[in-house]
């Protein structure tokens, strides 16, 4: 998880072939070393409901200093949707209240992964 390309490939291996949308979180310590990766939410072929409260609870339980988010788009469209941008903002705000940094949010397909941070969306 030391650079965006490695993190993107990590999440692609976990999510690319999934037929339904899943939302995963990598919990990191203060040196950005991996503490845990958890699939917190699963949905349908085109959406997954994400609850910021659950993400914050797990981050606090794991004593995480930072997180990386990822979810897949089974449709194959790698571009972040307006819903993706919205939940990223909500999660960033909720995590910031407890001093946990949101480092990135990846959108994953079977062909590619896009870093929302690299696009200025985090």
pLDDT recorded at residue 1: 74
The pLDDT of residue 62 is above 80: yes
Sequence-distant (≥ 6) Cβ neighbours of residue 93 within 8 angstroms: none
The pLDDT of residue 2 is above 90: no
Nearest Cα neighbor of 43 from 78, 19, 79 is: 19
Q: Does domain 4-115 have CATH number 3.40.50.150?
A: no
pLDDT recorded at residue 3: 87
Per the CB < 8 A criterion, the answer to whether 13 and 24 are in contact is no
Residue with tokens 């788009």: 73
Band (pLDDT 50/70/90 cuts) for residue 108 is very high
Q: Which two tokens stand for residue 79?
A: 């571009």
The pLDDT of residue 13 is above 90: yes
Average pLDDT of the segment spanning 22-50? 96
Q: Report strand pairing: 66-72 vs 101-108.
A: parallel
Phi/psi region, residue 76 (left: phi>0; alpha: psi -120 to 50; beta: rest), is: left
Q: Which two tokens stand for residue 118?
A: 């690299």
């Amino acid at each position: 998880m030391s650079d965006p390309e490695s993190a993107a490939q990590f999440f692609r291996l976990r999510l690319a072939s999934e037929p339904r949308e899943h939302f995963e979180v990598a919990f990191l310590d203060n040196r950005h070393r991996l503490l845990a990766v958890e699939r917190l939410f699963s949905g349908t072929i085109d959406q997954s409901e994400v609850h910021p409260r659950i993400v914050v609870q797990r981050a606090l339980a794991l004593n995480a200093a930072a997180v990386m988010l990822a979810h897949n788009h089974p449709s194959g469209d790698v571009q972040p949707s307006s819903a993706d941008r919205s939940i990223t903002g909500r999660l960033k705000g909720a995590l910031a209240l407890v001093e946990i940094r949101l480092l990135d949010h990846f959108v994953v397909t079977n062909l590619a992964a896009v870093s929302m941070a690299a696009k200025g969306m985090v």
